[in-house]
């Protein structure tokens, strides 16, 4: 391969397949040939809000095959399959030492060049050294590509501090049965096997899929959701509610589903600048907590990699579409129209040698 085909942002939500020079591999770096890259809600958000400037290449849920290794890299060789996140904290600053690694200044640096939606992706030295995982033979690309998003989910699950040891009858709710909502369901079941999970979504096909994937109940928002949670929790409410929808209305709904002393975890973008609107006594008098998480750090990435490698976590049923980078717009439209759950992109037709 002599040139790199990438999906470049053109401003607004426009993108186009573009040809760029292949990145040079420096010391400590890896050059990966794309195997699969996941389309993430954050990519969609950046396109829809125009946050991605012209020339930007998005995409960060990546599995690639090592094409070249930089000087000094010992853990990888050409041909290895690798799953790697794009963000790595410094481990030394104040927020890292306090356990808020995802707030680290260094963490914000994108360690993938030009980005994941490309036939060839350069992995910078810090990610290569600290965060890249060699994918074992028995683990598919379609499973390994979830290491990054599932680590984000696991961080929220851990922060909710759901107690499955004591009484063993914990109840969690996931608002939204899209790919992130259903990934919450699977991560909750894998990480906390004793936890019962209710998935709330207005779409019947998504509720059916949630039940197939192991949800203990699935309900429409509103009265039906309250009844389902009441049923499983003996009327108490959920220990934790994970909101993957976003916004003030879903937050109020989440608080209504949470038991006294329980947690609401926000895991979705709200419309920019939107203020919340809920009864403050839900927090003060009833000791509820509202938390936010948006990413995962090394600890969660490692834990999720182990869950996927062991087979305890298998998110592959969430993959509904796979298509070459050339069809980026098609994949985006399917997600927008809620016709797809997880869309994965594969190398461009030119890279696959299938171009007419
Ligand atoms: Zn993502
Ligand atoms: Zn730091």
Q: How far is the CA of 153 from the centre of ligand 2 (A)?
A: 20
Range 154-161 average pLDDT: 95
Same domain, 242 and 287: yes
Mean pLDDT of 84-102: 92
pLDDT at 164 over 80: no
Ligand nearest to the CA of 107: 2
Do 95 and 202 fall within a single domain? Answer: no
Residue 46 is part of which domain span? 3-146+315-352
In angstroms, rounded to a whole number, what is the distance separating the alpha carbons of residues 163 and 23?
47
pLDDT band at residue 167 under the 50/70/90 scheme: low
Same-domain pairing of 142 and 158: no
Q: What is the mean pLDDT of residues 152-158?
A: 96
pLDDT of 332 reads: 95
pLDDT band of 260, cuts 50, 70, 90:
very high
In tens, the pLDDT along 222-240 reads 999 999 999 999 999 999 9
Q: How far is CA 320 from CA 142, 236, 329, in A?
A: 11, 36, 16
Read off the pLDDT of residues 184-210 as tens digits, 9 standing for 90 and up. Answer: 999 999 999 889 999 999 999 999 999
Domain count of the chain? 2
**Is residue 298 in a domain?**
no
Same domain (yes/no): 223, 341:
no
The average pLDDT across 123-128 equals 96
- Check residue 271 and give its pLDDT: 83
Judged against a pLDDT cut of 70, whether residue 132 lies above it is answered with yes
Q: Are residues 119 and 84 in the same domain?
A: yes
| 300 in any annotated domain | no
Residue 1's pLDDT is 60
Proximal ligand: closest to the CA of 126: 2
**Distance in Å, CA 223 to ligand 1 centroid:** 32
Q: What is the mean pLDDT of residues 301-328?
A: 96
Closest ligand, as measured to the CA of 109: 2
User: What pLDDT is recorded for position 35?
Assistant: 98
| C-alpha 129 – ligand 2 centre gap (Å) | 16
pLDDT at 41 over 90: no
The CA 286 to ligand 1 mean position distance, Å, reads: 33
Residues 108 and 76 in one domain: yes
Answer yes or no: is pLDDT of 355 > 90. no
Which CATH number covers residue 64?
Answer: 3.90.180.10
* 1, two tokens: 């391969």
Ligand (nearest to CA of 92): 2
User: Do the Cβ atoms of 216 and 232 come closer than 8 Å?
Assistant: yes
Q: pLDDT tens-digit profile of 288-298?
A: 999 999 888 88
C-alpha of residue 212 to centroid of ligand 1, in Å: 24
User: What percent of the chain has a predicted confidence (pLDDT) above 70?
Assistant: 98
Rounded to an integer, the average pLDDT of 52-66 is 96
pLDDT of residue 272: 82
- pLDDT for residue 297: 87
Q: What is the pLDDT of residue 147?
A: 95
The CA 109 to ligand 1 mean position distance, Å, reads: 15
Residues 162 and 129 in one domain: no
Instruction: State whether 171 and 44 are in the same domain.
Output: no
The mean pLDDT of 64-71, rounded to a whole number, is: 97
Same structural domain for residues 215 and 139?
Answer: no
Distance 284 CA to ligand 1 centre (A): 33
Phi, psi of 270 (to 5 degrees): -95, 160
- Ligand 1 (ion): residues with CB under 5 Å are 40, 42
> Do 35 and 127 lie in a common domain?
yes
Whether residues 158 and 142 fall in one domain: no
Whether 301 maps to a domain, the answer reads no
Question: Does residue 305 form part of some domain?
Answer: no
Shortest-distance ligand to the CA of residue 153:
1
In a domain, 308, yes or no: no
What integer is the mean pLDDT of 99-122? Answer: 94
In a domain, 120, yes or no: yes
Tell which wins on pLDDT, 313 or 50.
313
**Cα 350 from chain centroid?**
28
| Whether residues 205 and 260 fall in one domain | yes
Q: Does position 354 have pLDDT exceeding 90, yes or no?
A: no
Confidence class for position 168, pLDDT limits 50, 70, 90: low
Tokens of 281: 């006594």
**pLDDT of residue 282 exceeding 80:** yes
pLDDT tens figures, 322-337: 999 999 999 999 999 9
Question: Is residue 338 a part of any domain in this protein?
Answer: yes
Counting ligands in written order, the one closest to the CA of 45 is 1
């Amino acid at each position: 391969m002599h040139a790199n085909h990438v999906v470049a942002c053109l401003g607004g939500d426009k993108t186009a397949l573009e040809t760029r020079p292949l990145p040079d591999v420096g010391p400590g770096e890896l050059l990966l040939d794309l195997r699969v890259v996941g389309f993430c809600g954050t990519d969609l958000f950046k396109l829809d809000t125009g946050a991605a400037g012209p020339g930007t290449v998005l995409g960060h849920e990546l599995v690639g095959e090592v094409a070249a290794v930089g000087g000094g890299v010992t853990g990888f060789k050409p041909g290895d399959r690798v799953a790697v996140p794009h963000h790595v904290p410094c481990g030394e600053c104040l927020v890292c030492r306090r356990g808020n690694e995802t707030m680290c200044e260094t963490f914000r640096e994108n360690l993938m060049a030009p980005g994941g939606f490309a036939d060839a992706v350069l992995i910078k030295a810090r990610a290569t050294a600290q965060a890249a995982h060699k994918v074992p033979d028995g683990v598919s690309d379609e499973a390994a590509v979830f290491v990054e998003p599932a680590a984000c989910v696991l961080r929220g699950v851990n922060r909710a501090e759901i107690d499955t040891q004591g009484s063993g009858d914990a109840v969690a709710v996931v608002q939204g049965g899209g790919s992130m909502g259903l990934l919450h369901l699977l991560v909750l079941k894998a990480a906390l096997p004793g936890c019962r999970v209710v998935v709330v979504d207005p779409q019947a096909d998504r509720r059916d899929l949630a039940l197939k994937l192991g949800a203990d109940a699935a309900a429409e928002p509103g009265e039906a959701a309250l009844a389902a949670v009441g049923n499983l929790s003996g009327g108490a409410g959920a220990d934790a509610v994970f909101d993957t929808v976003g916004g003030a209305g879903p937050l109020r709904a989440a608080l209504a589903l949470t038991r006294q002393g329980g947690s609401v975890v926000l895991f979705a973008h709200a419309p920019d600048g939107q203020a919340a609107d809920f009864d403050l006594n839900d927090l003060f008098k009833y000791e509820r907590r509202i938390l936010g998480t948006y990413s995962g750090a090394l600890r969660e990435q490692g834990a999720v990699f182990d869950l996927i490698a062991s087979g305890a976590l298998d998110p592959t049923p969430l993959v509904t579409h796979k298509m070459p980078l050339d069809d980026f717009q098609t994949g985006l439209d399917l997600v927008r129209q809620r016709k797809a759950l997880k869309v994965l992109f594969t190398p461009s037709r030119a890279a696959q040698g299938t171009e007419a």
